[in-house]
Amino acid sequence: MQPEIDLLGLPVKTFGLMFALAFLAGGAILYRRLLERGLPGDWSYEAIFAALAGGLVGARLVWIVENLDRVNGNLFGSIFAGSGLVWYGGAAGGALFVIIWARWRGCLNLSTFDLAPVPLAVGYAIGRIGCQLAGDGDYGRAWDGPWAMGYPHGTVPTAPGVTVHPTPIYETLVMGLIAWLLWNLRDRVRPGVLFALWLLLAGLERFLVEFLRRNDIVGLGLTLPQLQSVAMIIGAVIWLGVVYKRYGSVLLPSPSGMMRADG
């Protein structure tokens, strides 16, 4: 792991570097997809900026709500503090800002939702690389298996000699595979289905990996991220069920819906 690197004499946090790279990669994918749909590629910059702004606002506000006892007496100062983000707050905030942007651009429809899954999956995969490099506590429980590793020099270090599940690596690999799958399905499914599949697969991935992570149980024998994942999965199943009931299939019937030869 490498929480910090020297870049031209300046200390750079690797998590922040991967965070930036995640948005750049998501923007590049979105740029290509917009062009494929006959829309201006430059809209990708606007959408990514909206997602970034909304994500930071949402992630910070949810952290404050969850930690009111820690910010009591300094609420204003806590808003602009440099740490404390909640991933699902970021997802909600980013989604809200992008929906507002899409409405402003006059392109808010189910197909617009389908622009998001692949950039989201790729961005998440790259973000977990940042977690791995930083050793920020997102690793799993103690384990002495063949690929277990320790994080003694991470920002949230493990105890000397203790090895754990490297869950950020697991998540990077799985979300990378999900991104590849969704990219290849992008022209084969009905509008809105790609987003529903992302909800389903991303929710399932997070639900399962939580059994190896160190988060506390909050209810029904599950962690908070697992409960959130269950909500994502239920929403996805309902969404896909509605599409199937209406059309008899989630796949497009026409030849134009076949997988692109270039992948």
Q: Which two tokens stand for residue 216?
A: 């506390």
Q: Contact at 8 Å (CB) between 141 and 212? A: yes
**Per residue in 45-68, pLDDT tens?**
999 899 888 888 887 787 677 666
pTM of the model: 0.86
Taking 70 as the pLDDT cut, the residues of the chain under it are 63, 66-88, 254-263
Residue 255 DSSP label: G
Cα separation, 202 vs 183, in Å, equals 14
**Per residue in 18-38, pLDDT tens?**
988 998 999 999 999 999 999
Helix (H) or strand (E) holding 219: strand 217-219
**Per residue in 81-99, pLDDT tens?**
444 566 667 778 888 898 9
Cα separation, 165 vs 210, in Å, equals 11
Q: What is the pLDDT, as a whole number, of residue 12?
A: 83
Q: What is the pLDDT, as a whole number, of residue 208?
A: 97
Q: What is the pLDDT, as a whole number, of residue 262?
A: 43
Strands 217-219 and 10-13, how do they pair?
unpaired
Helix (H, G, I), strand (E, B) or coil at 40: coil
Q: What is the pLDDT, as a whole number, of residue 192?
A: 94
Instruction: Concatenate the DSSP letters of all residues of 112-175 into one string.
Output: HHTTSHHHHHHHHHHHHHHHHHHT-S--BSB--STT-B--TTSSSPPPTT--B--HHHHHHHHH
Q: What is the pLDDT, as a whole number, of residue 80?
A: 47
Q: What is the pLDDT, as a whole number, of residue 255?
A: 57
Q: Contact at 8 Å (CB) between 134 and 1? A: yes
